[in-house]
A and B are shown apart, each in its own frame.
Chain A
Amino acid sequence: DTGVSQDPRHKITKRGQNVTFRCDPISEHNRLYWYRQTLGQGPEFLTYFQNEAQLEKSRLLSDRFSAERPKGSFSTLEIQRTEQGDSAMYLCASSQSGERGGNEQFFGPGTRLTVL
């Protein structure tokens, strides 16, 4: 399977615990994005990497959220001290930069987080 993969697919945790999600992008893609989606809403941008560099981060993103992409391949998203409001689907997407265009993002299956 050469698509974007995410692990785990589901996570249930108690409020106050830390959680970490992993995303493996399409192998030749150099851009990686994290989004959060709640019911009835479109995906909300969290952060974006080009290779290993984190180039953009949403101003709405709490400092409890951190993301890394240490070798420009897979990425992790960590949420510290989870709150019930963090319950959502966390989506990862990747794309390949190039000339104008070539910016199409492909999504992974998502990680559904439930905070009790």
Chain B
Amino acid sequence: QKEVEQNSGPLSVPEGAIASLNCTYSDRGSQSFFWYRQYSGKSPELIMFIYSNGDKEDGRFTAQLNKASQYVSLLIRDSQPSDSATYLCAVNKATGNQFYFGTGTSLTVIP
């Protein structure tokens, strides 16, 4: 079982729509959860992090964490073509400081 699982996509949404990206993790004791955006050929860029159950909003981005279901999601409102990228979910487990990344979800926002 993979530590972090994401639907690889591709996910396509029209410009202005809400994009919903999902991630599940296997270690129930995981403490910290991160979303990174990665453009083709570039390194990952941190866009959101969340540590507590519930929602966290930052501009057009909302991260949602449900520890009971071991599920974390990212919502992108008013999607723009510039949001087209691969979105990586990362989890910091309770033991040690190792981070585990999913394989990423490819998002395309269609103008």
Contacts and interface: CB of A to CB of B under 8 A. Distances in A.
B103 A103 contact: no
Given A41-B104, A107-B36, A107-B44, 13 more contacts: A42-B88, A42-B101, A42-B102, A44-B101, A45-B100, A55-B96, A58-B98, A100-B31, A100-B51, A101-B32, A104-B34, A107-B45, A108-B43
Contacts of A33: 99
A74 interface: no
Interface in B64-96: 88, 90, 92, 96
A41 B103 contact: yes
Interface of B: 4, 8, 31-32, 34, 36, 42-46, 49, 51, 88, 90, 92, 96-104
A106 B43 CA distance: 10
B98 to A, nearest CB: 5
Interface of A: 31, 33, 35, 40-45, 48, 50, 55-56, 58, 89, 91, 100-101, 103-110
Nearest to A31: B97
A53 B31 CA distance: 23
Contacts of B98: 45, 48, 56, 58
Given A42-B101, A42-B104, A56-B96, A104 B43 contact: no
B9 to A, nearest CB: 11
A104 B49 contact: yes
Contacts of B42: 109
Given A105-B46, A109-B42, A56 B97 contact: yes
B46 to A, nearest CB: 6
A10 B101 CA distance: 23
A40 B43 CA distance: 13
A59 to B, nearest CB: 11
Given A42-B102, A42-B104, A104 B97 contact: no
B51 A101 contact: yes
B61 to A, nearest CB: 14
Contacts of B34: 104-105
Nearest to A49: B97
Given A42-B88, A48-B97, A104 B102 contact: no
